[in-house]
Structures are given as structure tokens and as C-alpha cells.
Structure 1
Amino acid sequence: MPVELVPHQSLIALGRLAGSRGYLWGTGGNLSLRRSESHFLITMRGTALDQLDSQDFVLAPLQGERDEPPEASTEIQLHRRIYQARPDVRCVIHLSPFYTTLVACTDLELPTDIVPETALYLGEIARVPYIQPGTDELARAVAEALGKERSVVIMANHGVVTVGESPLDAFRRVEVLEFLCRMVVTARSAGLELHRIGPDAVASLRRSYGVKARG
């Protein structure tokens, strides 16, 4: 039986993984994990996610004020609003990988029925317009865009938020989204048309893998 990592170790491993994939730059991005019905663990502000240790996390109240606790990531309210709206979510990731952020600065369409993995892991991708980072306005907009079923939100000129029932679940969506964005940008640059597998194939895939329809 695999050993389950303690919460901060799970997020440390997630930060290292994001760094190894080239999804990080500077001190951008933030990670969190639901700890109970009343609290969640979140990275501190100004931390490099690929260099996290056990001192780089803050336990935050689910019903706290926008800037509580003050040492937490400036995007604390984004995580808080998602956990408040989605009891099923255990992990929230906000990153700005290159291709995803490039697409976030455009109106490029992102069809998810391109390859089986994008169909299975992404579902419908929500998008929100540019809103100042760290604000409750952005937090509310992202939580509303996720709704009850979606797992991925692209924030214009900012990056992406993904959610999941586990850290790996949420990270897998970041990884697959970055792959999709890279495919779309590369195909457009080369003048190629991407063929889609269509809704019937997507529905069949999800039935085969027992994946609940999202979006």
C-alpha cells in the first residue's frame, strides 16, 4: 500500500514537479490543500514553489477575512472562495505555464476533444476576463466560472487555476492543459488544422474510463 504524504509534503512534491516541468518562473503561483471543514493549507507569499520546505505554508481559516492570515499568498481569497463553493475540491493550483499564459493573453479557442487525455482530464475550460490579481473580485469570478462541475479556469493575461480531489489530480490538469495550449499554438504557427474526435468519441471515452462528464 502506498504511503500517503503529510499535507505539506504533498504540496512540496507538487512544487518540485511543477518546477521540473518548466511551469514556474520567479515567485509566481500558489498551491493549497483542504485540511478540514474549517481550514486549508496554503503557500506563503513570495515563495518559490520549486524550493518549498515545511516552513513555507500557512494554515488559513475557510471563513476568514480577505487578508487573513497576512503572511499567506496574495491569492489566498482565490483559494478560499473555491473551497467555500466546492466542497468536493481538496486541492487548488494556480500557475502560469508559458503556453497556457500565452493563450490566456489571446482569444484562441481551446477545443478539448483533440486527443483522449485532453477529453478525459479537462472537460469544459472556463475563461474569465482580466481582473486585478489578489482581489476578491477575481476570487469570486473564478469560483463562479468553476461552478459545480468544471475543473479548469483560464484567467486572461494571468494564468490558470485547476482543482481536484487530490494534488496529483489538480496537477494533471495543469499538465494536460499546457500540452493542449502548446499543440494549438504550434498548429496555428504551422498553418495546420487540428482534427477533433467529436462529442460521441468523448462520451464513449468517459464511459470507458468511468469519468464523470464535466462542464
Structure 2
Amino acid sequence: MSKKINLAHPRDQIITIISRIYKRGMTTTSGGNISIIDNDDNIWVTPSAVDKGSLRPSDIVCVKKDGTVIGRHKPSSEFPFHKAIYEVRPDIKSVIHAHPPALVSFSIVHKTPNTNIISQAKRICGSIGYAKYKLPGSKELGKVIANEFKKGYNAIIMENHGTVLGGSDLTEAFERFETLEFCARTIIYGSQIGTPNYLTDDQISEFEAQAPSIIPEMKETEYPPDEKEKRLEICKIVQRSCQQGLMISSYGTVSMRWRNNDFLITPTDVNRWDMNIDDIVQIKNSKREKGKTPSRATWLHQEIYKRNPNINSIILTQSPYLMSFGITKTYLNVRTIPESWIFLQDVPSLPYGSHFKANIDSNIVENCTKVLIIENDSVIITGDKLLQTFDYLEVAEFTAKSLVIGNSLGSMIPINNSQVEDLRKKFLI
């Protein structure tokens, strides 16, 4: 399992994050750069003109406080604006610049994505700055970017270029980067099938006010072999979800029933990419493992398990194509693909806020479907084995992707009711 990257050397942290960005298709072989400023004001940065898909720690360049360059490569050509950001914002300790397709799309139409599209994005990204075009690698570019950061922005769209984001450490910068690109993708995909709807600031405040329910701690916790096995299984699915773009750093909860109504669940405020078996929280007799804070959705998972003995695993996440239906209130008609309907049956959606504890919709906890979309918030997937539940998530996201892409070709034509009944009979649904 992955370790907490902030405990690693700056060069190792940079390699970990640039690898994630490249493998997720959010930058190219030659594009993008990452830096970290250490406690001695030395800046560690990716090199110029070296393949981002095969960087090694020894490739990372260190630019000392006095300007001395240590390393076998030249620092990134964009190093000037990294340095400029650190000079105007001492609270920022890491910077990411890349050319992810959705954010580049915003940059070339001279717009910024509205982070009110999903519940947590405004807290993580804040308002988005905008830097006018200047020659890449120039001091002028550094000045306009630094001016935006000086205004208090932590994420900026660079006109006809890409994006640049900062954070108190590299984990925070990447979480901000990934969340903003997710917002941009979701808005773009949603615009292909309908009109995106945005949350009000009051709705977001209501979401943020839902602090994790403080449930009592156990005095002692036992870890028998079957419990440990489930921890590992959860971590593997979280990693797989992140790698495939089905979950992002800032959002996603996975749980598995353990014994009776006791279960294991992912924690709150832990980066999903870096989650380890030690982070997983045991919930037993409605008490939490000592010293750990489970997901703020723990109560929801608990209620689903109590009322649905056939459900043994739950994934609550955000994936871009499914959420494109959630932000546009467009019906995800899985009857367009027989295999999708066999796996998922019909996929309902519920309005934002119906998942809040104070006014929970009974359809979420009592009449659970395999896939349920909460508008502008998340997708809830339930199933028996965790791998099966993950498969449902994959099938649902692939189906949503096909519908979004296919919409440009013409109206989607679903199978008719008679054909659905044939499927029910053949597959005993």
C-alpha cells in the first residue's frame, strides 16, 4: 500500500505526483512541471525536456536559495513563475503546472470553471484566478501569475496555456489540481447532454456544516484475520478507483460489512491516493475504532447495512461522466445498452440535500438501487462483494460515457419495454 508522500524527500514526492498526473492523461511527455520549496528555501523542480512518463528521483533539479543549480538537467523552463509564486506567497510550499485537457479547454475560451458545481470543490479550490497570456517561460508570465496569487487565489487558469495551482504541501496542491480538473470535465461533459446546474453558497455551507458525526470510541479493538483481509481489499479498490479516474483525492468513501452490522470504512480527511490499511476505521456495535475519524458518511453506510441485509459493500464517489448526469438533472437511461440494464437495472437520481442526515430520503437507505445519483454531490453504488460493487461503478461510468459521447450523433434510442421484459425472463431479474 502507498505511504504518506509528505514524509518522503521532495524529489520522491515530485516523482510520485508527476507519475499520477501523466498516467491519468492530465499532461503530456513534455508538458507540465512541479516544484516544492523546502525549509531552507531551496526549490526542487522537475527538469526541462525530460520525459514525464519515465522521470526518476535523480532527474529532479534543486535550485538553491542563492540560485545555484544542483542536478544533471536544467530546471523547468517555467521555473521563473514557480519562484515568483513562492516570493509573494510564503504560505505556499508546492506548485503544480500542467495542461489537463478540460482546464486547457477553459483556458482557450478564456473562462474559469465554476467550482460550485459539486459540494466540496469550493472549499478545496476556492475562487479561480485568471492570468492573461504572456510568453511561456518569461518573467512577464511570472509577474501576471504572481499577481493573481498575491490576490489570494490558489488556483489559476492561464490564458491559452493551462493551469497553475499551489498548496501548503504537494498533497494539497495535487488535491486542488485534481478537483479543479474534475469540475472542468464534469461541466464540459454535462454541457454535451444538458445545462449544468450549480449549487448556491448556502447549499455548500449546509454541506460543510455536516461535520462527521462523533460516535463513541471503542475501549479496545481486535483485528482478527478476516477483518485485516477486508482492510486490504478496501485499500486496493480505493487505489484502483483513483487510478481509473473513478474517485478523486478529495472525495470518495468505501465500506464493507464485516460481521452482522459491523463494518469497515474509509476515514475522513485522508487523501484517497495515499490511503493505507492503518487508515481504515472499524465500526463495531456503533462505536468507532479508537483515535480515528471515519467518513462523514458513516451514519449513511450504517443505516444502509442495517436495513439491507443483502448489501455487503458500498462505494460513494464522484466520477465525471456519471456526475455529468447529476449536474444537469438528465436521466441516465441504461436501457440503451442491454448489458448495462442487466447489471444495473434503472438508475434513479435524487435532489441535492436528500442525503443529509436531517432530511434523509428513504429511497437512499430503504429502497436501495444498485446505483443512485445524488444531484451535484455523488453516486452511491451498493452490492454484495466489493469487487462486484466496483464492477457496477465501472459499468455505470462506461455507460454514462457512451451516452455523453453518443449524444453528438443523435438521439439515444433505448430498447423497448417488451425487450426489457425479455431480459428479465432470460436473466431472472
Q: TM-score range by the shorter chain?
A: 0.7 to 0.9
Task: Show the 5 A alignment for 1:18-57.
Answer: 18-57=21-60
- State the one-letter code of the partner of 1:202: I
2:107 aligned with 1:104: yes
Report the alpha carbon displacement of residue 175 of structure 1 after superposing the two structures with TM. Answer: 1.0
Structure 1 residues 29, 204: closer, same or farther in 2, change over 3 A?
same
Q: CA deviation at 1:36?
A: 2.5
**Offset at 1:50?**
3.0
C-alpha contact 1:151 1:163 (8 A) present in aligned 2: yes
Shift in Å, 1:62? 4.4
Identity %: 25
Deviates more, 1:55-64 or 1:121-130: 55-64
AA in 2 matched with 1:141? V
2:127 is equivalent to residue 124 of structure 1? yes
Q: CA RMSD in A?
A: 2.4
Q: Given the superposition, is the C-alpha separation of residues 109 and 7 from structure 1 closer, same or farther in structure 2, using an over 3 Å criterion?
A: closer
Q: TM-score with structure 1 length normalisation?
A: 0.87
Q: Does 1:12 align with 2:8?
A: no
Q: 1:204 offset after TM fit, Å?
A: 4.2
CA distance in 1, matches of 2:204, 2:148: 22
Q: Distance in 1 between matches of 2:133 and 2:79?
A: 18
CA distance in 2 between counterparts of 1:37 and 1:140 reads 24
Matched, 1:202 2:204: yes
The answer to whether the 8 Å contact 1:43/1:56 transfers is yes
1:93–1:163: 8 Å Cα contact kept in structure 2? yes
The 1:38–1:107 alpha-carbon spacing in structure 2 relative to 1, beyond 3 Å, is closer
Alignment of 1:87-166 (within 5 A): 87-147=90-150, 149-166=152-169
Pairwise CA distance, 1:39: 1.4
The one of 195, 201, 205 equivalent to 1:193 is 195
Cα 1:133–1:160 shift into 2, 3 Å: same
Is the aligned partner of 1:171 residue 2:180?
no
**Residues 1:58 and 2:64 are matched in the alignment:** no
1:117–1:62 CA distance, 2 compared to 1 (3 A): farther
**Structure 1 residue 158 displacement after superposition:** 0.7
The structure whose RCO (Cα within 8 Å, separation 6+) is larger is: 1
Counterpart check, 1:82 vs 2:96? no
SS at match of 1:77: helix
Q: Distance in 2 between matches of 1:106 and 1:155?
A: 11
Instruction: Assess if the C-alpha contact under 8 Å between 2:120 and 2:204 holds in 1.
Output: no
Q: How far 1:116 sits from its partner (Å)?
A: 1.3
Whether the 8 Å CA contact 1:112–1:123 is kept in 2: the answer is yes
Report the Cα offset of residue 58 of structure 1.
Answer: 1.5
Post-superposition offset of 1:170: 0.5
Equivalents in 2 of 1:201, 1:19: separation in Å?
34
Cα separation, partners in 2 of 1:53 and 1:205, compared to 1, 3 Å: same
Q: CA deviation at 1:26?
A: 2.5
Taking the aligned partners of 2:90 and 2:8, their CA distance within structure 1 comes to 21
Secondary structure of the structure 2 residue equivalent to 1:127: strand
Q: Which has the larger radius of gyration?
A: 2
Question: How many Å separate the matches in 2 of 1:93 and 1:79?
Answer: 9
The superposition leaves residues 99-155 of structure 1 with CA deviations (integer Å, 9 ceiling, x where unpaired) of 111111003452111111322211100011211100011111111112253210110
Q: Distance in 2 between matches of 1:119 and 1:103?
A: 17
The alignment's TM-score, normalised by the length of structure 2, stands at: 0.45
Q: Do the aligned residues in 2 keep the contact of 1:18 with 1:50 (CA within 8 Å)?
A: no
More divergent stretch after superposition (160-169 vs 29-38): 29-38
User: What's the secondary structure of 1:176's corresponding residue?
Assistant: helix
CA distance in 2, matches of 1:85, 1:163: 12
